Structure 1
Amino acid sequence: MAGALALLLALTACGGGPAEEADGASGGETVTVETDYGPVDIPADPQRIVALEFGTEAVLEAGIEPVGVIEPVSTLYTAEELDQLSDYPVVQSAGLEINLEAIAEARPDLIIGGVRVESHDEYAATREDLEQIAPTVFYDFDGAGAGLRDMTLELSRAIGDGERAEAEQERFETRIEEIRDSYADQLADTTFAVVFGLDGEFAVVNTNAWGGEILDTLGARQSSAREAAGENFAAFYSYEELDQLFDADVVFYETDAQGKPDPFTEALLDQGLWQDLPAVEAEQAHPLRYSAARTYSQANAVLDQIEEVLAGL
């Protein structure tokens, strides 16, 4: 792979034109950023960014047009974002396979991405190949809550969008306190659950992940059904066990970024036992967009939805 990459770089360098423009864009002032893979010198004002897994949200929110992206998963983006992403070359498959040749042809001056901590060693080896193309900034994260949002914040800083991203973080932290104070009675008197469907099953999200983690940060009491998850991100049940949610006064069910539940969750909502849940009978079953918030902007969208429900209790 290394030999093939070296040959490809040599060929693209001989092409002139766009290659020279890319070299010029990255030949100015640089800054050093500390990453989970060591210090990296990157352009102070990167112009040609490749966004690998978890980097797409950072460039979209920054209003940057990347020169390469991971294959978009339709559930993660709005229709407008999917239309926008269709204009950019795909350099990483949805199955996470990285196309080094496509990245080299994109002539980036910066490559960014987020890495689950359990994949650190695998990405450390991959980063060595990517560094032959352009400075590569990887940050690790653990879990599916604040760690993921903080990692994306670091990527935003690396691409020059730190001020906006930090403002979203500050807004999130301020709103947590405001909602706690404004809806203290509702939070104290209400039990919540966040769920999604699977094939013939449903999952109750734990307090350490996604929308469950944001509710936990608010101090909300959550259904005892999530306790079976232990340290895992969710507890799993058959349809016949929907009575596990009888203690929930409010149930949020996850949707995609466009507000639509996936087919498995739709099947869950059609179950007769679902209709018998106290929360459903009380019209307190609500969709939840961006439950798996990857950025603080998305987390603020989750707070908007939770606050709207609290205001109606």
Structure 2
Amino acid sequence: MKKKLFLPFMLVLVLIISACSNGTTTSTEENAPTDEGNSDTITYESENGPVEVPADPQRVILLSGFTGNVLSLGVNVVGVDVWSKNSATFEQELKDVEEVSDESLEKILELEPDLIIGLSNINNIDKLNEIAPTVTFTWGQVDYLTQHIEIGKLLNKEAEAVAWVEDFQQRAEAAGEEIRAKIGEDATVTVIESYDKQLYVFGDNWARGTEILYQAMKLKMPEKVQEMALESGYYALSTEVLPEYAGDYIILSKYADADTAFQETETYKNIPAVKNNRVFELNGNGASFSDPITLESQLEFFIENFLGN
């Protein structure tokens, strides 16, 4: 009798142990550490929320500038906007790079990008996102140096971006001190551009070297320019009123195919800065960017023209 009871008891015991064992295994699996992140990607906190992007992007497409920012950080570019492609500053770096736009979706697809960067006003963002992670920035939402740091974060190269910003700030400010010591603290500078039969003057954050001259170097702009262009960034004007906006020094951004007839007028020729040979002509092609490559070129241009170094 005891033997008959013993066998069922052992059977029940085995079943209980087996059940406990299975329960423990299940619990261990549920609480085991999981791989919450992919080492091949990072999460960038964009204007529109978090975006998973490559940790080491290899094929970047730029639809709205930022080309010099990406190139300066050593990241490969496979497609750029027309303005970047035509920039004299990037001529060598982009000689084998395709020109694309937010409408050339088939070409972008063929280029197999792993990251797309543009301004917030580009078209087809949803379709671009289907091709590759697409990150956009709003123009002017942050200053030009913070913008470079943001792109550094996006490309997983924040340390490199910060290092360049700090170094550039120091060099530009030092150059500004030298220039002000030479031309006078009250001397004014106007940035003018001739483009497509129209003249423009610029505030302190609209490329063409304005960030360097007014923000970093702390040079002064004429009161009329402050009044009309500082808030909006730029202001269109006629040759007839140009003398009212002309500073003691003029930076003239000129496109190769621009109408320069205004330079032959007596109104222009009689501007004091013109008569005193204080007009420095900057290549307009490529001047409309505020990236490290462009800024380095512009800083060198200003040092050479203002200081003769």
Q: Same fold (TM over 0.5)?
A: yes
Give the corresponding residue for 1:252. Answer: 251
Structure 2, unpaired ranges of 5+: 1-37
Give the corresponding residue for 1:50. Answer: 61
Give per-residue Cα distances to partners, 1:56-98, cap 9 Å, x unaligned.
32333344443333335555233xx335534233331xxxx33
The structure 2 residue matched to 1:88, chosen from 97, 100, 107, is: 97
* 3-state SS in 2 of match to 1:232: coil
Summarize the alignment of residues 1-313 of structure 1 with structure 2, pairs less than 5 Å apart: 29-72=40-83, 75-78=86-89, 81-82=90-91, 84-92=93-101, 97-115=102-120, 119=121, 126-142=124-140, 147-185=143-181, 186-198=183-195, 200-210=197-207, 211-217=209-215, 218-226=217-225, 227-229=227-229, 231-245=231-245, 248-255=247-254, 261-264=255-258, 266-289=260-283, 291-312=287-308
* 3-state SS in 1 of match to 2:65: coil
C-alpha distance 275-74 of structure 1, shift in aligned 2 (>3 A)? farther
Give per-residue Cα distances to partners, 1:111-153, cap 9 Å, x unaligned.
22233xxx3xx66xx333222222222232327xx63453344
* 3-state SS in 1 of match to 2:242: helix
Counterpart of 1:299, as a letter, is L
Answer whether contact 1:45 1:160 (CA < 8 A) is retained: yes
* 3-state SS in 2 of match to 1:241: helix
Deviation for aligned residue 1:286: 0.4
C-alpha distance 221-67 of structure 1, shift in aligned 2 (>3 A)? closer
| Rg larger in structure | 2
Answer whether contact 1:274 1:280 (CA < 8 A) is retained: yes
TM-score, structure 2 normalization:
0.73
Two-structure CA RMSD over aligned residues (Å) = 3.0
Query: Whole-Å Cα distance in 2 between the matches of residues 137 and 199 of structure 1?
Result: 31
* 3-state SS in 1 of match to 2:231: coil
Answer whether contact 1:114 1:152 (CA < 8 A) is retained: no
Structure 1, unpaired ranges of 5+: 1-26, 256-260
TM-score, structure 1 normalization:
0.72
Q: Percent identity?
A: 27
Equivalent pairs, count: 266
C-alpha distance 222-75 of structure 1, shift in aligned 2 (>3 A)? farther
